[in-house]
Structures are given as C-alpha cells and as structure tokens.
Structure 1
Amino acid sequence: MAVLNRVLRLRAASSFSVRSFRSSSFLNSETDLKASSSVIAQNSLPLQRDVKDRNVQWVFLGCPGVGKGTYASRLSTLLGVPHIATGDLVRDELSSSGPFALQLAEVVNQGKLVSDEIIINLLSKRLEASAAKGETGFILDGFPRTIRQAEILEGVTDIDLVVNLKLREEALLAKCLGRRICSECGGNYNVACIDIKGEDGKPGMYMAPLLPPPHCASKLITRSDDTEEVVKERLRIYNDKSQPVEGFYCSRGKLLEFDLPGGIPESWPKLLQALNLEDHEDKQSAAA
C-alpha cells in the first residue's frame, strides 16, 4: 500500500490524467456492463482525444518477444511521449545492484513473472522521474501483465488505448531464440531469418534478420533468459496469467487487436493505418 500511495502522489506533480485509487469491483456499474458487450474491430480506434496529442496514454500487450518494445519505441518517437518498458526497468535494476537485484536475477533466469510489488515500485519511480522532467503522456510496454496489475493501473490513471500485438507461436519462438545484444553499445539485434510457408489457407510469413553493423558483429551476446526452455516457460505463464488482461480491456472498449503480418517493413505501415497515424508520419518525414 505504501508503494501505491507513492504512485498516487503523482497527481500533484504530473500532467498525466490521474485519479484516486479505487478498490471496488470493476464490472459492477451500468457503464461497465454496457462496455462489456462491445467488441473493438481491428481497424477502429477507441480514443477520446486526438492521437496526435502528446498526452496519449497507451498500453502495449503481447507475448514476450512479440515486438512490443520495437513498436512502442517507434510510436513514442513519432508522438513525442515517453516509452516506459518494464522489462528495461527490471534490467536497469539488475545492472545497478539495487535492493531488488538478487531477487530479480533468480526470477528472470527461471522465466517467472516479477512480483506486482516490485514492478509497481520500479514503475512508480519511473513515472516520478517523468513528472519531474515535465514529460506528458506515455506508452507502457510490459505492464500490466495480470488482472490485478490492470486494476491497480485503472485506479491510478486513465488508459486511452490498449494495443494487443499478436504473432503466430512458431515465429515467436524463433524470434526469441534469435535475439542478440551488443555487449558494448547495448544495441538489440536478431539473427533469426523466419520464413514460414503458407498452408491450409494461412498466409506465409517472412521476417528478415535484424543484423548488427560490422563493429558490433563480434560483440553479440545472448540474454541468459533466451533459452528454448525459458522462452517456452514464459509463453506458458503468459497464456495462463496474462491473456485474461485482454478480456479486461476488451470489456472496457479499449482493446485494439493487431496481428503482425511479418517484420517491421510489412507491419509498421499497417499498424500506423490501424492507429490512424499514417498521415502524421508523412508530415513528420517531410519536416525532417
């Protein structure tokens, strides 16, 4: 509760849309009952404010390795809002030898979910830092992962839109096992070349590798948790505990389902179209 109270103190300092925490049931009002019957089509955008507004408050959902960080980062640059990735917050804590480092190392290496208390603590510190710098809006990546986290977040701030990225499992597994990090600059790359042939009415899929520049090629390392055993365990945990979050946001009319058709060249333009942002990127490119 102390952590939650600290998050709530952001109301006084930040320009985020924040309201007081509520502990009551979240599907007991007439509004919620009406919202639970609504289904958001792939190309509709349930936003109340202009998507070009810097105050957008979005969440990216999806299995580990689906590409949440890649697309959330691109959108944060496009819209000029902070990209807050809980995975990065965890890795920063691990590398800083902070108070949760040893506990986090054990959890991450076993492919388990980090506790709500630790994640909320790390997230609250990140939001406080954003408020101190005068940043507005955000794109959350990797949070919430459970219904309890979604309820806490709903009580703290108004989320405009939840983008649920989806990728077929065979491509997802290959993509996770192909991830590499440059030990010197920290750049993220992927050596997997995914080429799935279409069959049984399903379209094929091609995802080219994201190879490093020559000066990073000899410095690539694999994350300790990117083994087949750990990746499969992460996917199992996600399916068991995190997918219900999709239903939570769908019942509120905030969920946008997006099936990735391939790699970045194929998926990025289609994602912008689904978000009604294709014109915005054209204008930004022309001004650059």
Structure 2
Amino acid sequence: MAAMNRLLRASFSSYLRRMSTVAPEAGVRFPPGMAAPKMGPGQRRDPRERGVQWVFLGCPGVGKGTYASRLSHLLGVPHIATGDLVREELSSSGPLAQQLSAIVNQGHLVSDEIIIDLLSKRLQNGVAKGETGFILDGFPRTIRQAEILEGVTDIELVINLKLREDVLLEKCLGRRICSQCGGNFNVASIDIKGENGRPGIYMAPLLPPPNCASKLITRSDDTEEVVKERLRIYNEMSQPVEEFYRSRGKLLEFELPGGIPESWPKLLQALNLEDHDDKQSAAA
C-alpha cells in the first residue's frame, strides 16, 4: 500500500507542476461564498490560472459520469471515472480481471489498493499526454482515499449529486449499453408525482439510435438485488467522506430536480458557469 501511495503522490505532483504553467481558464469561478483554496509554496493562488481540480460524489446511478463528462468538455480538463477504469480492466486479460469480476458481480466496492493502482496508472498516462487538471468521478469513496488525496493535492470543489433512492433504483435498472459501440443509454421512463410536500420528478428515457437498438445489453451488476446492496454500502460509507469535505468548506450539495434538461442549467448556475457555457456554445 505504501508503494501505491507514493505512486499516486508522484502522479499528482506531475499534474501540479504542469498546471502551474498553463494559461488562464476564463469563466471558471467558485460557488457563492466558497473561497479559492490555499495553495502550497510556489503554487499560483488563482484557480483560473490552471485546470480545475474537482471531485464528483454521489450514489451509483445518480449521473456522476454524465455531468462530470459535460463539465469536462466545458472546462477542457479530463474526466477520470474510476468506474470506467475498473470496467476497462475487466474487459482486459490482465491479472486483476478475474478478481474484479467477482467483486463487481457481488455488488461490493473495489478495494482502495486496486482503485489507487488503476488511478495512478491513468494519471501517469495523462501526464505523458500533457493533460492539465482533472474532474474525478468515483474517487474518493472512503476516508482513507480522501486523506490520501488530501495529502498530495488540494481539491478545490466537491460536487455531491443527490437523488431519491426510488428514482436511483429505477435509473440503475433501466441502464443499457450498446454491445457494439459501447454507448450508454437508459430505457427507464420516470414520472413520479409530487405528494406530501415532496416535489415530483420526471426523467425521460435516453433511448439509443436505431442502429444500436437491437444491440443493447444490461450490465451484469444492474440487478435489483445488487443495486440495492450497492446503494446500501455507498450510503454507509459516504457520510464520513461528505463530512470530511463539508468541514473543509469544499462540499457543494446539489439535489437533481429531474433529467438533464432540468438539471444541467441549474448545476451550471450553482457553479456560476452559465456565461462560460453560453460562450462555448456560441463559439461552436
């Protein structure tokens, strides 16, 4: 474990050295009341002078990958999802594939050691390609991981996506993947009426194009039993991590009001990024 920690620190240190020389990223601002993080000796203090260092938290199926990916394109930094790293390893013939298969199929969380090893390799590859900044998705999941991350870099913002558990279950059971192109879709049509003071929520299905419709498959871990177990484990472990960042003034709680059309503009508003999105859309 000590060797893996050193490798992770080396990877992040390479990121920080690169980010101290990149040009200003106009339009990247912090939510109201959230100050720029303190930088170490010799590092620039203005977060716009380097790629952002953000983390997405949230239950399995909440949409971390969707929103992190959109922000990644908007801000020009890589979206690094530990879930994708695990699935890439599962599809390989590497030595970890069989071990990971058993863990994932039972709905258990992958160990810190494995996640840190996969993340370290990904970061090193990114440094070699000249990437700056990052949006992490799925890491950290434990206090131990958060402490390791805190020890090697200063995460500026942690976006905690929240969604009702009954909606999460429907979303997870509706997920589909195209076996040919790898595209992600969702066949669930969620329309829950508001009652007892709770707002209603609507999420339209994300249907595949005709050429993918006959090639959809369900992830092996997207069964009701496994999804419920994953949600139980996540909720049990997430509270300390959320409090870790909340106590440092870095946690932004965001309750998803619905699907992407309803949630994306409101998320940008919470991040003070509406103008940045408008400028990018106009340039495109």
Partner of 1:247: 243
**Equivalent runs, 1:133-212 vs 2, <5 Å:** 133-212=129-208
Q: Could you tell me which amino acid in structure 1 is paired with residue 7 of structure 2?
A: R
Partner of 1:3: 4
The one-character-per-residue Cα deviations of 1:200-231 (angstroms, maximum 9, x if unpaired) are 11111100000000000000000000000000
Indicate which of 253, 260, 277 corresponds to 1:257: 253
Change (3 A) 1:110 1:12: closer
Alignment partner of 1:15: what SS?
A: helix
- The gaps in structure 2 that reach 5 residues or longer are 20-30, 38-44
Q: Post-superposition shift, 1:54?
A: 4.8
More RCO (CA 8 Å, sep 6+) = 1
Alignment partner of 2:135: what SS?
A: strand
Partner of 2:105: 109
Distance 1:82 1:14 in 2: 12
Q: Does 1:93 align with 2:94?
A: no
The one-character-per-residue Cα deviations of 1:149-178 (angstroms, maximum 9, x if unpaired) are 111111111100000000011111000000
Q: Could you tell me which amino acid in structure 1 is paired with residue 201 of structure 2?
A: M
Partner of 1:214: 210
Distance 1:216 1:53 in 2: 42
Alignment partner of 1:162: what SS?
A: strand
Partner of 1:122: 118
Q: Post-superposition shift, 1:53?
A: 5.2
Alignment partner of 1:192: what SS?
A: coil
Number of paired residues? 265
The one-character-per-residue Cα deviations of 1:164-202 (angstroms, maximum 9, x if unpaired) are 000011111000000000000000000000000000111
Q: Could you tell me which amino acid in structure 2 is paired with residue 208 of structure 1?
A: A
Distance 1:173 1:267 in 2: 19
Q: Post-superposition shift, 1:101?
A: 0.7
Q: Post-superposition shift, 1:43?
A: 5.8
CA RMSD in angstroms, aligned pairs only: 1.7
Partner of 1:74: 70
**Equivalent runs, 1:26-105 vs 2, <5 Å:** 44-48=33-37, 54-105=50-101
Alignment partner of 1:96: what SS?
A: coil
Partner of 1:22: none
Q: Does 1:233 align with 2:247?
A: no
Q: What is the percentage of aligned positions where both structures have the same residue?
A: 78
Distance 1:12 1:139 in 2: 16
User: TM-score, length-normalised on structure 1?
Assistant: 0.88
Q: Post-superposition shift, 1:46?
A: 4.3
Q: Post-superposition shift, 1:10?
A: 2.7
Does structure 2 conserve the Cα–Cα contact (< 8 Å) formed by 1:190 and 1:210? Answer: yes
Alignment partner of 1:128: what SS?
A: helix
User: TM-score, length-normalised on structure 2?
Assistant: 0.89
Distance 2:248 2:254 in 1: 17
Change (3 A) 1:220 1:73: same
Partner of 1:283: 279
Q: Post-superposition shift, 1:7?
A: 1.8
Distance 1:217 1:122 in 2: 32
Distance 2:276 2:197 in 1: 35
Q: Could you tell me which amino acid in structure 1 is paired with residue 258 of structure 2?
A: G
Alignment partner of 1:9: what SS?
A: helix
